[in-house]
Every structure is written in structure tokens, then in C-alpha cells.
Amino acid sequence: MPKEIISTNHAPAAVGPYSQAVRVGNLVYTAGQIALDPASGKMVGDTVTEQAERVLENLKAVLEAAGTSLENVVKTTVFISDMGNFAELNAVYGRYFSEGKPARSTVSASLPLDALVEIEAVALVE
């Protein structure tokens, strides 16, 4: 099965040797998204709430470019720089994944560009 590289101007360009997403068959694997503004390439937001909203909008744009949506996400991995912000992150995450919630892992980590949150996903393409 060939792989298809996914790219969109509606999400930040890859800042290293990786793709925004890769589609193989009916699955899409996204790169981790941080709170970069797609137009400027600059980090946005000073709080986990602000950054998580930008991250999820970026993720949504990448998934749409791959022919799917947040509703078809089956698994996410969430990286958070401070587990003390977990409840704040969950409030935003819950608004974007309100029904049919995907499986999720959450990891505390040091993130690129001092981001507060990063999220990657695996989604079905129907």
C-alpha cells in the first residue's frame, strides 16, 4: 500500500525533516502539532487554553487536508509541559472531542519552542 504525504497551508509547515501527516490506506497519521500560527509561523498563546485551541485547529486543518476530520480520530497522543495544566487542557480537548472520544495517552514532556502542549493523532478516512 503506497503512502501519501499530506500537506496544507492551513496548518504550520513542518519545521524539520517530517510531514504534516501521512496517509496509508484508510488511516492518517499526523505529526505532533504545537501552537504555531500557520500564516506567521510564530507561537501563539500564553496559556494552555490558548495554545490547545490553536493546536487543535492546526490538527483539524491537517486532517481535513487528508480527507477526514476530528470526528474520525481514533487515537491521540497529548504531550503537556506541566501536568498541573491537565484540567485546563481537558476543558479545551473536551470541546473538540465531545462525542465518540478517541483513545488517548497523555505524556509530560519538554516540548519544541517551549510549547505548553502538543497533540498528534491517528484518524480513519471514510
User: Cell for 29?
Assistant: 497519521
pLDDT in tens, 93-111: 999 998 889 999 999 999 9
The pLDDT value recorded for residue 54 is 98
The pLDDT value recorded for residue 99 is 84
pLDDT of 15 above 90: no
pLDDT in tens, 39-97: 999 999 999 999 999 999 999 999 999 999 999 999 999 999 999 999 999 999 999 99
Q: Containing H/E element for 4?
A: strand 3-6
Residue 22: domain span: 3-124
The pLDDT value recorded for residue 65 is 98
Report the share of the chain in percent with pLDDT over 90.
94
User: Cell for 121?
Assistant: 493523532
The pLDDT value recorded for residue 82 is 97
Domain count, the chain: 1
Q: Which CATH number belongs to the domain containing residue 50 in this structure?
A: 3.30.1330.40
Query: How deeply is 22 buried, as exposed, middle or buried, from its count of CB atoms within 10 A (0-12, 13-18, 19+)?
Result: middle
